[in-house]
Amino acid sequence: MNLETKWLEDFIALAATRSFSQAAEKRFVTQPAFSRRIRSLEAMLGLTLVNRARTPVELTEAGQLFLITARSLTEQLGEVVRHLHNIEGQQGEVLQIAAAHSLSLGFFPAWIAQLRAQGLPLNTRLVASNVGEAVHALREGSCDLILAYYDPDAALQLPPEIFPSLHLGSTAMLPVCAVDSAGQPLFDLDAGLNVPLLAYSAGAFLGRSVNLLLRQRALRATTVYETAMADSLKSMALQGLGVAWVPRLSVTAELARGELAICGGEHWQVPLEIRLYRSALQRKAGVRQLWRTLEHAEDSSGS
């Protein structure tokens, strides 16, 4: 097991808040995920860092000593990264973009290619990330932009006056499943029969809108698999194990090849809006130039 930098940052947040729930909120992850990361850190070190029997939680003696090291390591790493960015900036500015996994594969390449074809010479570094980590990176200034699906009801909201955003496009979450020997969907959501559901785990960003739809439609289903990753749900659907809701961008090729099929009418689809976020304090010339270009395109399409 390797030490992950985010575990150090998690531990520092826990030491500051002395609360697993508050630290998890500060780190933009669910409390169970946060607890697992702290336990992974302890397992990797072979030490008990936190006394969980106390409320508020307390660091053990080993935890107090390790906190000094954790702070030192994260500060040194931050200084090194900033120094390298300065060196790189002298060779040409690079925009660091955090993107949802499905957008990093299904949207980002064509979007960047189109911008470069329009004469915008962007140098980019893409980091595929979950929403919580991307939001944290933008707040901390370790990325310049976030490419994400917009969820008006999401718990992790970015105040628009601090983190402005632009509309880039629209897509949808589609219910898909494998096909039979005749090329027909194995399951039909409109048939009223119980279906095996490949579901998003609790707290997964894309799962909120899907779960709302399932409750509204009163789908008869039995959950046979859960994960936070849309690509994992797609893989399980390809094996014929059930119905999964995944972004259209993620299944374009599989639908075209007839490996997957949409297994319900349009009323089973969930619309998605793709947005780009930045910090209002962002000073990189490349970000400002990109933003002006996108705003002009948005104004032109709206006129």
User: Quick one: pLDDT at residue 286?
Assistant: 85
Q: Averaged over 136-151, what is the pLDDT?
A: 85
Omega of the bond leading into 56 within 30 degrees of 0 (cis): yes
pLDDT at position 78 = 73
Report pTM.
Answer: 0.66
Write down the pLDDT at residue 155: 44
Q: Give the pLDDT of residue 41.
A: 92
Beta strand 58-59 with 95-99 is unpaired
Q: Is the pLDDT of residue 102 over 90?
A: no
Q: Is 30's pLDDT higher than 60?
A: yes
Q: Sorting pLDDT into bands at 50, 70 and 90, what band is 90?
A: very low
Residue 81 has pLDDT above 60, yes or no: yes
Buried b / exposed e over 7-40, threshold 16 CB at 10 Å, is: bbbbbbbbbebebbeebbbbbbbbeebbbebbee
Mean pLDDT estimate for the chain: 86
Tell me which of 118 and 235 has the higher pLDDT. 235
Q: Is the pLDDT of residue 143 over 80?
A: yes
What does the pLDDT look like over 107-130, one tens digit per residue? 999 999 998 888 887 888 888 887
Across the range 2-31, mean pLDDT stands at 88
How much is the pLDDT for 303?
A: 46
Terminus-to-terminus CA distance in the chain, angstroms?
55
262-293 pLDDT, tens digit per residue, is: 998 999 999 989 999 998 887 788 888 899 88
Question: Residue 92's pLDDT is what?
Answer: 60
Q: Which domains does the chain have, with CATH numbers?
A: 5-84 (1.10.10.10), 91-169+273-302 (3.40.190.10), 171-272 (3.40.190.10)
Give CA–CA dist 238/198, Å, rounded.
11
State residue 233's pLDDT score: 93
Cβ 101 vs Cβ 231: under 8 Å? yes
Of residues 85 and 187, which shows the higher confidence score? 187
Residues 144-175: pLDDT tens digits?
999 988 876 654 567 788 889 999 999 999 99
Q: 299 pLDDT band (50/70/90 cuts)?
A: low
